[in-house]
Amino acid sequence: MMTFENFWQIYSNLVLTVGVNALLALSIWLTLSCGLLAMANAAFMGIGAYTASLLTMNVGAPFPVALAGGIAAPTLVALLIGGPTLRLSGVYLAMATLGFGEVVRVLILNAESLTGGALGLNGIPQLTQWWHVLVAVIVVLLLLWRLRRSRIGRAFEAIREDTVAASLMGIGAMAHKMLAFALGAGIAGLAGALNAHLTFFIGPSEFGFDRGVDILTMTILGGTGGLTGPVLGALIITLLPELLRSFKDFRTLLNGAILVLIVLFLPKGLWDPQRFKGWFARAPRAGARSPRAGSPPPLPPAPQPASGGPR
């Protein structure tokens, strides 16, 4: 017990950051599953963080209300900007949403009387308990898991593969894209609200371009084929800088390098059920040589077997 308490004292912040990052990774997974490369999630996180913090600090709202506000505000903003931006696709959407992120950052920077400008908000009450984060992650995972198994999840997948064909199956592509975008914004806002009440301080630079790339990296690294991927990616991206403490200055460089390597060798991310199936299909032969080869190794394999997917 003693050892656990020690561990928790030192690492509780890190563990909770994993949870917050998992929420962020899931939020961008939602739009990616719809075939949308929307990069506004860092900004949505910022809107959620500022809304919730201002609610607790200035209005004295209870924490649940602040969280609700932190979800509602970015969702509304997403519904507003979704109309014009979601007509774009591919890099054009990425550019438009990145631009939106910059606008949000500059607005926060300049609305000094409300947001504290470049100095940020200080002394946010530390209201987030460890179980708040846990419950949030579980609820979001359950919601998305059920969504994937419904007609909406199938529609997302169809839109990602071929929007024209999907619309000729009677799927309203725009409405579904909007749903994915707004829901993702809400989840990112929740992550921001929880995170703000964990760290005492938030500033505009936290929600800029770097954060947006971080969020995308987590999801791409983990794999977009399911819900396990984003969570796994969040875990790795959060822990990696801690494990590579001596390389701290090279953190962004490493992130970039990892993203490039993953895209090159594992285009579907670390968690790819299709690839695992391939392993199991070959398992009898491998098992004949080594009796312990039954379970797949947790780390990415050599690049050769990865390219063995269906063509």
Partner 1 sequence: MLKLSHVSKHFGGLAVLQDVSFEVPAGSVFGLIGPNGAGKTTVFNLITGLLAPTGGEIALAGKSLLGMAPHRITRLGLGRTFQNIRIFKEMSLLDNVIVGMHAHLDYGLPAWLLSLPGFRAQERRARDRATELLSWVGLDSNAADLADNLSYGDQRKLELARALATEPKLLLLDEPVAGMNASEKVELLTQVRTIAQRGYTIFMIEHDMRFVMGLCEQIAVLNFGRVIAQGTPDQIRCDPQVIEAYLGRDDDAPAHEGAP
Q: Which is nearer to partner 1, 121 or 166 (CB)?
A: 166
Q: Which is nearer to partner 1, 197 or 268 (CB)?
A: 268
Q: Which is nearer to partner 1, 163 or 255 (CB)?
A: 163
Q: Which is nearer to partner 1, 138 or 244 (CB)?
A: 138
Residues found near partner 1 in the complex (CB under 8 A): 143, 146-147, 149-152, 154-155, 157-158, 161-162, 164-173, 310-311
CB of 32 vs partner 1, minimal distance in Å: 14
CB of 296 vs partner 1, minimal distance in Å: 20
Q: How far is 12 from 87, CA to CA, in rounded Å?
A: 42
CB of 172 vs partner 1, minimal distance in Å: 5
CB of 72 vs partner 1, minimal distance in Å: 17
Nearest in space to 55 (alpha carbons), one of 69, 72, 41, 73: 69
CB of 233 vs partner 1, minimal distance in Å: 20
Q: Which whole-number Å values give the CA distances from 178 to 62, 103, 144, 293, 303, in the listed order? A: 30, 20, 16, 45, 37
Nearest in space to 35 (alpha carbons), one of 172, 147, 141, 181: 181
Tell me which H or E stretch contains 180.
Answer: helix 173-199
Q: How far is 28 from 180, CA to CA, in rounded Å?
A: 9
Q: Which is nearer to partner 1, 87 or 146 (CB)?
A: 146
Tracing tokens 């179980």 back to the chain, one arrives at 131
